[in-house]
């Protein structure tokens, strides 16, 4: 009987040409068959958005032994949906988002297209992981991530993940990691997010920018603390966002 190699579905929000996703392919190509479906261009900040009113295009960019690379004209979540519906020959053994250029710690995970990929896989009951590096440069060095990315992928393929849980893995930009912290999301906020400009033709326009603040910098059990202190941060993240601690309080309103 033929033993099927694991099938890995990979996407990102930086686009199929990005260095991060291509390094990830190279790191994992010996773990199984890889199908990539990633956006045609950068889609940072798309989170779980999908194209409800716009038609989509798929294009096969490369095919070689054990690897297919497709691009999709839509969002990162569109890429996963399209791949599952039109490309993969069977249900993938794992969905992987990344490697993202820039971190997705704390509240950033809610905006992240890379996490959108991972959450979509998780909602399809597929073990899913997101990998991100705290380096926005196009030519970022992803080689130091290789051992842990391979180790985490191997463990997830062997052991799976709890139903409804995915992993948000963030790597600090340091020469040598101090270790790995399994940690919670830090409480943080974005401020100064909108910059108003005036065009020479007489109208106003705005840029979305902003700066992030860690609202609990001394809390040592958070992803922000881990990254700031040179540790790789792994945050188990769940689909169920019910605030269970508030259920009884709201029930007491007797509505």
What pLDDT does residue 58 have? Answer: 96
What pLDDT does residue 4 have? Answer: 82
**37 touches 11 (CB < 8 A):** yes
pTM of the model as a whole: 0.95
- Nearest-Å Rg of the Cα atoms of the chain is 19
- SS3 for 133? strand
What pLDDT does residue 43 have? Answer: 86
Q: Is the pLDDT of residue 243 over 60?
A: yes
Res. 1 pLDDT band, cuts 50 70 90: low
The arithmetic mean of pLDDT across residues 216-242, rounded, is 97
Q: How far apart are CA 114 and CA 11, in angstroms?
A: 8
What pLDDT does residue 44 have? Answer: 85
User: How many Cβ atoms sit within 10 Å of the Cβ of residue 199?
Assistant: 8
Average per-residue pLDDT for the chain:
95
Residue pointed to by tokens 């020479």: 200
What pLDDT does residue 3 have? Answer: 65
Res. 229 pLDDT band, cuts 50 70 90: very high
**114 touches 176 (CB < 8 A):** no
Q: Which percentage of the chain shows pLDDT scores above 70? A: 99
Q: Is the pLDDT of residue 194 over 60?
A: yes
For residue range 115-152, list pLDDT tens digits in order: 999 999 999 999 999 999 999 999 999 999 999 999 99
Torsion angle defined by CA atoms of residues 205, 115, 61 and 66, in that order, rounded to the nearest 10 degrees: 170
What pLDDT does residue 2 have? Answer: 60
For residue range 106-115, list pLDDT tens digits in order: 999 999 999 9
Q: How far apart are CA 94 and CA 127, in angstroms?
A: 5
What pLDDT does residue 210 have? Answer: 85
């Amino acid at each position: 009987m033929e033993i099927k190699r694991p099938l890995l579905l990979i996407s990102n929000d930086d686009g199929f040409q990005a260095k991060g996703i291509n390094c990830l392919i190279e790191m994992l190509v010996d773990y199984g068959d890889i199908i990539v479906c990633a956006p045609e261009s950068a889609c940072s900040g798309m989170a779980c958005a999908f194209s409800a009113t716009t038609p989509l295009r798929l294009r096969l960019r490369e095919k070689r032994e054990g690897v297919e690379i497709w691009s999709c004209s839509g969002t990162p979540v569109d890429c996963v949906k399209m791949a599952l519906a039109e490309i993969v020959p069977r249900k993938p053994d794992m969905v992987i988002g990344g490697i993202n250029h820039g971190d997705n710690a704390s509240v950033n995970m809610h905006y992240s297209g890379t996490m959108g990929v991972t959450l979509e896989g998780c909602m399809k009951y597929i073990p899913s992981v997101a990998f991100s590096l705290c380096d926005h440069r196009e030519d970022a060095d992803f080689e130091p991530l290789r051992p842990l990315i391979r180790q985490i992928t191997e463990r997830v393929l062997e052991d799976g993940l709890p139903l409804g849980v995915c992993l948000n893995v963030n790597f600090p930009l340091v020469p040598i990691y101090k270790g790995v912290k399994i940690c919670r999301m830090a409480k943080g906020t974005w401020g100064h997010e909108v910059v108003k400009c005036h065009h020479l033709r007489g109208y106003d326009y705005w840029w979305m920018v902003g700066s992030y603040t860690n609202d609990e910098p001394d809390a040592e059990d958070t992803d922000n603390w881990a990254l700031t202190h040179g540790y790789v941060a792994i945050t188990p993240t769940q689909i169920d966002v019910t605030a269970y601690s508030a259920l009884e309080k709201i029930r007491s309103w007797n509505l």
